[in-house]
Amino acid sequence: MTATHSVLYICAYFLGLLLSAYKWGIFGLPIGAIALLGAGCLAALIVPRYWRMGLNYREWLIVGLIGCVAVFYCEVRSPKPDASDISQFFTELNQAAVPVVVEGQVASAPRQTRSQNKQFWLQVVNAKPTSDSGELDSKSGRLYVTLSAQQANDLKPGQGVRLMGTLYAPKAATSPGSFDFKQYLERQGCFAGFRVKEIGNLEAGWNPGLWLSMQGRISYGLWRIRERVNTAFAKHLGNTNHAALISGMILGRKAVDLPPDISDAFTQAGMAHTLAASGFHVSLLLGMVLWFTRSLLPSQQAGIGVSILLGYIALTGIQPSIMRAGLMGIGALVGRVYDQKLQPVGVLVVVAFLLLLINPPWIFHLGFQLSFLATLGLLVTAPPLTKALDWLPSSVATAIAIPISAYLWTLPVQLFSFGTVSTYSIFVNLLTTPLVIILSLGGMMCAAIALISPDLGSWAVWPLQFPAGWLIHAVEKANALPGSVYAVGQIATYQLILLYGLYGWVWWKSKWQVLPWLAGGMAIALMFIPGRLSAATQSPITFLNTVDEPVVVIQHRGEVGLIHSGSEADIQFTVLPFLKKQGVNRIDWAIANQMHGKDQERWNQIADTIPITDVWISEPTFAQIVLHGIKQVKPINYQQTTSIGSLNITVLNQEPKVMSFSLGDRTWLMFQSDSPGDQQTLSALDLPQVDVLQWAGNVLPTAAVTAAQPMTVIGEHLAEFTQEPSSLIPNSFSLENGAVQWNSRRKPYQVVSSTGFD
């Protein structure tokens, strides 16, 4: 089998895994499997006639078959709850939240959450609903457990615990761009969350079973080693962030409880890779091993190096990035023993294939994707880029080429996942490289000393507090610069494919000197033009699924408006992610119901990330408003039409709040209906007839719907409405046919028009 055969077979396997994401199919067969098998058959009929030196028809059929099998293989290997999984309580009791008692083994050390609570993973052994007076039943599965910081004291991996609290079903993403908590847990093999009310330790005689006991002992042993290093680092460093940063840079964020503000700052600056154990750390570690063992035979060096690498992988946690780097490092050591020069790209592809053969769902893991692509960029783009910079000293040229190459190859995936770019990432990485090397190399040496003598290690790490402080300061300064994060907007799948197609074209035709510049221009156009064209020609109005007040985003030919802010959690997990993925870098105007203490904090939370030009307030009076990142605060006159950008808005009533607005030739009505008294108030108002009615609350606004005669109704509780919609609106029909839409705000709702609103 030639290299061409191997590459095509492996690529077919990768493609099959990726296409397994499409769950719909024909006659029960996944569409990805059908497409790849069909493509293989088509290639078998056509390609051999024109590519006589390539694969024959049998081999093309094998390519299609491998891709087809990969689709089914990924589906089979994807985590699914079995019959004894604790999440089955939801089905058995027909509830989304169940009070239960759970016994299990702590599978990870508690970590700090953004709400200042703690979180850990629990391996379930026994459980029962609290209402059940019988014995606990044998159960399985993992739980995402949250509890207070005080309750988490003294919890250790491998420890048996008994928990009382609420079992809940994780929520899927309900708005475009929002965090999909359900999918995140499923990829961890977890299908339920748990909020702790009471916690207790199980007796020493508790036995979870042989396999789970072995896992617990291993987890506890690795935790003890990490804790020995972390404690030694924190002992003589005055700033706890410095100790956490140094530990995170050598062990990775999965093995260290990094404060969320440090992790977020490095991510925003485009330096998240420094907090993830990766190829950079493996290279430093191998370099140290080979230097200290330079007097030994290559086989002896390889034995020591492989042992240290395996130990390092275990300490940092089984993560795709460190597994990829570790296997490539082991391959390099084996090559030294047999005096064989390996092809780095070939080794990278084979390692990726082996990892995805062991755990195929990793292909959807963002860490795996970024690690693989960054390494590929370093292998194929850094050398020619360094050569192009030959007018600079070689060390400087290499230092410049490395961050640029990694940035270019990971940029499409970042835009596809987040829709944003770290504007100064290349410059920050370039300027902080000496600090990162000092902290990583010095941290590894100090960690080795701390394993032998914690006291000696704590003194050895003391000088590293200065470069750690400088690095944090540099990251904070970079994030404070204007436009440190630029929202390009989430790119579509076709854009992602075309961008990497361009990269591959440049790599294949590397001898064409003009090609990189041409491809670069095409790539920039491909990233920016579709989104900007859509923003200039369409006017989408999006109702986001928020827990608090309804949040509406209005985009009208490049102008962006926001009605209401939502709660702090809504802003963090729904509003800001949506705006970033839409490519919004400035909000032209915003409308707030009121501006009391919490409201100001919420609007400041938005303005700190995306500046707001004007905020309009619909309450009668407002004073002592302290807002930053916002140019002006203006009032909306009661019962008078106010022009805000392209919007004409009227506050019809203050309590309950009733507003109508028009955009183009469409009119909208928004209000809250929580009580029968609200219904009476609405009935007494002279409501205009509108095209769209949006309401929040628990009381069905029958009178308002009858008076306003909307073509579209958007609300939280439409189950009762949708039973007999014709009793409220005679001409009830679907949006696709051009008129009435009954829609629950529990799902995101968006109306798009290319000509204004139709």
Query: Which of 487, 519, 548 is a domain's end point?
Result: 487
Higher-pLDDT residue of 635, 1: 635
Neighbours of 244 (CB within 10 A): 23
pLDDT band at 410 (very low <50, low <70, confident <90, very high): very high
pLDDT of residue 295: 87
Q: Same domain for 73 and 193? A: no
133 falls within a domain: yes
Please determine, for residue 730, whether its predicted confidence score (pLDDT) is greater than 60: no
Residues 601 and 711 in one domain: yes
- Token digits for 419? 């829709």
Residue 542 has a pLDDT of 82
Residue 731 resides in a domain = yes
Query: Which pair of structure tokens corresponds to residue 392?
Result: 């600079």
Report the pLDDT averaged over residues 215-229: 91
Q: Are residues 153 and 230 in the same domain?
A: no
Among 467, 501, 535, where does a domain finish?
A: 535
526 and 546 share one domain: no
173 or 72, which is more confident?
Answer: 72
- For residues 342 and 361, membership in a common domain is answered with yes
Q: What is the pLDDT of residue 438?
A: 93
Stronger pLDDT, 123 or 601, i.e. the higher one: 123
- For the chain, percent of residues with pLDDT exceeding 70: 90
Stretch among 12-16, 50-54, 70-74, 554-558 having the lowest mean pLDDT: 50-54
Query: In the prediction, which pLDDT does 133 show?
Result: 74
Q: Are residues 588 and 688 in the same domain?
A: yes
Q: Is the pLDDT of residue 572 over 90?
A: no
3-class state of residue 30 by DSSP: strand
pLDDT in tens, 325-351: 899 999 888 888 888 888 888 899 999
Among the residue ranges 250-254, 389-393, 535-539, the one predicted with the least confidence is 535-539
Per residue in 701-717, pLDDT tens? 677 777 877 777 776 54
C-alpha 19, offset from chain centre: 20
Helices 3-19 and 57-77 cross at an angle (nearest 10°) of: 40
pLDDT for the residue numbered 434: 92
- Could you tell me if residue 58 is inside a domain? yes
Share of the chain above pLDDT 90, in %: 29
CATH code of 552's domain: 3.60.15.10
Domain with residue 124: its CATH number is: 2.40.50.140
Asked whether residue 478 falls in the same domain as residue 517, the answer is no
Residue 685 is classified by DSSP as S
Question: In Å, how far from its chain's centre is CA 200?
Answer: 33
Same domain flag for 547 and 519:
no
Confidence of residue 510 (pLDDT cuts 50, 70, 90): low
Q: Which of 181, 208, 235 is the last residue of a domain?
A: 208
Higher pLDDT, 660 or 510: 660
What's the pLDDT tens digit per position in 279-330?
888 888 888 888 888 888 888 999 999 999 999 998 888 888 889 989 999 9
In a domain, 273, yes or no: yes
Can you give the residue range of the structural domain that contains 23? 3-77
Please report which confidence band the pLDDT of residue 514 belongs to, taking 50, 70 and 90 as the band edges.
low
How many whole angstroms separate alpha carbon 348 and alpha carbon 354?
10
pLDDT digits over 66-113, tens only? 999 999 999 999 999 988 999 988 877 777 788 899 999 999 999 988
Q: How confident is the model at residue 747 (pLDDT cuts 50, 70, 90)?
A: very low
Secondary structure (3-state) at 175: coil
Q: Has residue 471 been placed in a domain?
A: yes
Residue 678 is assigned to a structural domain of this protein:
yes
Look up tokens 């504007």; give the residue. Answer: 423
Local structure of 145: helix, strand or coil: strand
What is the reported pLDDT for 718? 45
Provide the mean pLDDT of the chain.
Answer: 83
Residue 628 pLDDT class (50, 70, 90 cuts): low
Position 716 scores a pLDDT of 57
Per-residue pLDDT at 723:
37
Please check whether residue 219 lies inside any domain of the structure.
no
C-alpha span between 430 and 208 (Å, rounded): 50
Q: Does 447 score more than 60 pLDDT? A: yes
pLDDT of residue 511: 57
Cα(286)–Cα(332) distance, integer angstroms: 10
pLDDT at 674: 66
Q: How many CB atoms are located within 10 Å of the residue 504 CB?
A: 12
Helix (H, G, I), strand (E, B) or coil at 81: coil
Residue type, 232: A
Claim to verify: residue 587 and residue 442 sit in the same structural domain: no
Rg (CA), the chain: 29
Are residues 96 and 72 located together in one domain of the fold? no
Total structural domains in the chain?
Answer: 5
**Residue 586 CB: number of other CB atoms within 10 A?**
11
Average pLDDT over residues 212-235: 90
**Is pLDDT of 744 > 60?**
no
Assess if residue 757 is contained within a domain: no
Whether 690 and 728 map to the same domain: the answer is yes
pLDDT for position 758: 36
User: pLDDT band at residue 668, thresholds of 50, 70 and 90?
Assistant: confident
Residue whose C-alpha is closest to residue 161's, from 224, 97, 118, 113: 118
Residue 358 has pLDDT above 90, yes or no: yes
Q: Based on the fold, state whether residues 470 and 602 are members of the same structural domain.
A: no
